[in-house]
C-alpha cells in the first residue's frame, strides 16, 4: 500500500515538474488576466460561448483581432454587456470600394446579444475628415450613426451598433466639404421630388420629403440617386459622394461596378444597382473564356426552414437536411465570364442536386423555382431561394451576375421575403 502511494505521489511530482504546472494554470490566468485580452479570431470566426461566459463573469474587456482581404479589424467586447453567452461568429467581410468608402457585412447575421465595438484599420490618413455609418437598404442607404475616427492619423474607423444583419457602409468625407454639402443640400430642397425619383421611391416618399425639409433622424431612408451622396444626419453631418458620376469604383478587371448615379429601373425592371456593386451583364452579352479557369466558394443551404418548420409543407419534411446544409461551402472552379447561374447548374448537376428553373424574359434572367425539391412557397408565402455574393444579395437575376475570381456565392432559402437572411432589400421593398 505504502509503495503504491509512493508511486502515485512520484507520478504527480514528475508530471508537475515536467510541465512546470503551466497546464493547470491556464484557466486561472484566463480568469485573472487584466490585459492580455487580445485574441485572434479563429479561422472559422466562431468564438465559443465558453469564452463569452468567462468574459461575462469576469467583466473583462477583450479585443478580438481579424483580417479581411488585407484590412485589419478588431472587435472590442465588453464583458459586462453580455447577457446570454453563446457562440458568435466574429468574421467580417470588408471591401474598400473607393478611397473613402468601405462596405462590410458579417459572416453571421445572428445577433450577438451585446454591443461590441468594431474597429477597422483603414491605413489611410483621415485627419480633418468625418465618417458616417450607413445601412444599405436595396438601392437606398440610411444613416445610422457617426463613425469615430481614432489613431495617430485617424486611420481607425470605430462603429458600435447591435445588429449584424445586412450590409453596411462607412463613408468618409472631408469635414469642410461636408459642411458645404450640408449648406448646398438645404438650398436644394425643392429639387428633391423629381418625377423619376417619386416613381422610384414610392414607398419611401413620405420619409424622403421629411428628410429634406426637417431635421433628419436615424434610420431615415434616402432616394436611390442620393445613395452615398446627399444623405444628412441628425447631427448635420453630410455624406459626400464617393463615386463621381460616370466613373466606376475600383473594379476587378472586366467588371463594371455601379457608380450610384443611375436613378431609374433598367429595361429589365432592375432597380438601380448600389454604388460599388457589379452591374448586371445580359446573358446575350456574356463571353465565356474557357481558357481561363477561376474559382469561387459556393454553398446552398436552407437552415432558416429549421426555425420555421411549423410553416413547412409537411410533404417536404423529408427533403430538408437535418442541419439545413444542401451543399456545404467549398471551392468550385468555373470559367471566366460565367454567371452565378452557370456555376449553380454545374454544381447541382455534378452533385446530383435537384434544380428547377424557368426563363423570365421580363427580367432577362432565369428564376430558380426549386432546389433539392424545396420550392418557393414551401415554407410560407414569403419563402423561396435567394443568392448572395460576397455578402450582398444582388437585386437582379442570377444569370445576369458574372462571377469574378475568389467571390463567395451563397444560395439561401428565405422564409420571410429575405428579412430572415439579411436580404430583404434585394426584394425591392
Partner 1 sequence: MDSKKKKTIIAISVTAVLAITVGLIILILNRNSQTAKVGKFFTGPAVFIEIPDKMDKKDRSEFELGVFVTKLGKDIYPAASFSISFDPSKLEFLGLEEGNVLILDSDTPAGENLPEWNVDVETSNKTGLINVMYLDISGKDKGFSQEKLYDKDNSLFYLKFKLRGSVREKEMYEISFKDAVFACEDDSKSLSMLSKKLKTKDSFVMILDN
Q: Give the footprint of partner 1 on this chain (CB under 8 A).
A: 3, 7, 10-11, 14-15, 18-19, 22-24, 26, 29-30, 33-36, 38-40, 42, 59, 61, 63-65, 76, 78-81, 115, 117, 145, 148, 150-152, 158, 160
Distance in Å, CB of 83 to partner 1, minimum: 14
Using an 8 Å Cβ cutoff, are 205 and 223 in contact? no
Other Cβ atoms within 10 Å of 290 Cβ, number: 9
Of 39 and 427, which CB lies nearer to partner 1 in the complex structure?
39
Distance in Å, CB of 266 to partner 1, minimum: 40
DSSP codes, 347-361 = HHHHTT--EEEEEEG
Of 76 and 303, which CB lies nearer to partner 1 in the complex structure?
76
Using an 8 Å Cβ cutoff, are 178 and 130 in contact? yes
358 exposed, middle or buried (CB, 10 Å; 0-12, 13-18, 19+)? Answer: exposed
Give the three cell numbers for residue 374. Answer: 424545396
Distance in Å, CB of 130 to partner 1, minimum: 14
Of 38 and 354, which CB lies nearer to partner 1 in the complex structure?
38
Q: Please give the sequence-ordered ranges of beta strands (E in DSSP) within 229-288, or none if there are none.
A: none
Which residues 6+ apart lie within 8 Å of 200 measured at CB?
Answer: 139, 223, 224, 225, 263, 264, 265, 271, 272
Distance in Å, CB of 390 to partner 1, minimum: 25
Distance in Å, CB of 363 to partner 1, minimum: 42
Of 235 and 285, which CB lies nearer to partner 1 in the complex structure?
235
**Which of 181, 252, 258, 259 minimizes the C-alpha distance to 404?**
252
Of 142 and 201, which CB lies nearer to partner 1 in the complex structure?
142
Distance in Å, CB of 30 to partner 1, minimum: 8
Amino acid at each position: 500500500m505504502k509503495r503504491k502511494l509512493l508511486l502515485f505521489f512520484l507520478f504527480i511530482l514528475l508530471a508537475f515538474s515536467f510541465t512546470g504546472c503551466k497546464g493547470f494554470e491556464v484557466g486561472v490566468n484566463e480568469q485573472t488576466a487584466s490585459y492580455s485580452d487580445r485574441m485572434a479570431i479563429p479561422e472559422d470566426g466562431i468564438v465559443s460561448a465558453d469564452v463569452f461566459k468567462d468574459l461575462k463573469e469576469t467583466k473583462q474587456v477583450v479585443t478580438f483581432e481579424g483580417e479581411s482581404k488585407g484590412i485589419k479589424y478588431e472587435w472590442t467586447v465588453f464583458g459586462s454587456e453580455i447577457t446570454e453567452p453563446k457562440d458568435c461568429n466574429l468574421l467580417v467581410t470588408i471591401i474598400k470600394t473607393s478611397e473613402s468608402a468601405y462596405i462590410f457585412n458579417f459572416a453571421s447575421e445572428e445577433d450577438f446579444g451585446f454591443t461590441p465595438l468594431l474597429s477597422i484599420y483603414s491605413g489611410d490618413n483621415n485627419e480633418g475628415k468625418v465618417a458616417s455609418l450607413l445601412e444599405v437598404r436595396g438601392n437606398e442607404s440610411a444613416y445610422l450613426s457617426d463613425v469615430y475616427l481614432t489613431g495617430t492619423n485617424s486611420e481607425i474607423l470605430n462603429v458600435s451598433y447591435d445588429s449584424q444583419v445586412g450590409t453596411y457602409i462607412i463613408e468618409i468625407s472631408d469635414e469642410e466639404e461636408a459642411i458645404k454639402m450640408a449648406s448646398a443640400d438645404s438650398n436644394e430642397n425643392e429639387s428633391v421630388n423629381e418625377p423619376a425619383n417619386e416613381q422610384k421611391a414610392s414607398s419611401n416618399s413620405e420619409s424622403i420629403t421629411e428628410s429634406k425639409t426637417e431635421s433628419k433622424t436615424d434610420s431615415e431612408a434616402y432616394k436611390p440617386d442620393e445613395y452615398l451622396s446627399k444623405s444628412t444626419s441628425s447631427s448635420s453631418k453630410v455624406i459626400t459622394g464617393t463615386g463621381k458620376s460616370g466613373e466606376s469604383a475600383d473594379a476587378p478587371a472586366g467588371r463594371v461596378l455601379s457608380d450610384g448615379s443611375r436613378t431609374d429601373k433598367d429595361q429589365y425592371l432592375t432597380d438601380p444597382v448600389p454604388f460599388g456593386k457589379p452591374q448586371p451583364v445580359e446573358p446575350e452579352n456574356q463571353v465565356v473564356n474557357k481558357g481561363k479557369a477561376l474559382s469561387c466558394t459556393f454553398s446552398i443551404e436552407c437552415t432558416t426552414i429549421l426555425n420555421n418548420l411549423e410553416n413547412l409543407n409537411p410533404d417536404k419534411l423529408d427533403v430538408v437536411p437535418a442541419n439545413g446544409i444542401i451543399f456545404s461551402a467549398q471551392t468550385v472552379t468555373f470559367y471566366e465570364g460565367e454567371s452565378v447561374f452557370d456555376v449553380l447548374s454545374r454544381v447541382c448537376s455534378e452533385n446530383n442536386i435537384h434544380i428547377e428553373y424557368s426563363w423570365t424574359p421580363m427580367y432577362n434572367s432565369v428564376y430558380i423555382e426549386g432546389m433539392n425539391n424545396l420550392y418557393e412557397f414551401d415554407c410560407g408565402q414569403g419563402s423561396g431561394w435567394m443568392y448572395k455574393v460576397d455578402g450582398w444579395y444582388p437585386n437582379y437575376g442570377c444569370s445576369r451576375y458574372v462571377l469574378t475570381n475568389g467571390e463567395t456565392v451563397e444560395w439561401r432559402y428565405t422564409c420571410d421575403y429575405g428579412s430572415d437572411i439579411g436580404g430583404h432589400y434585394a426584394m425591392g421593398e
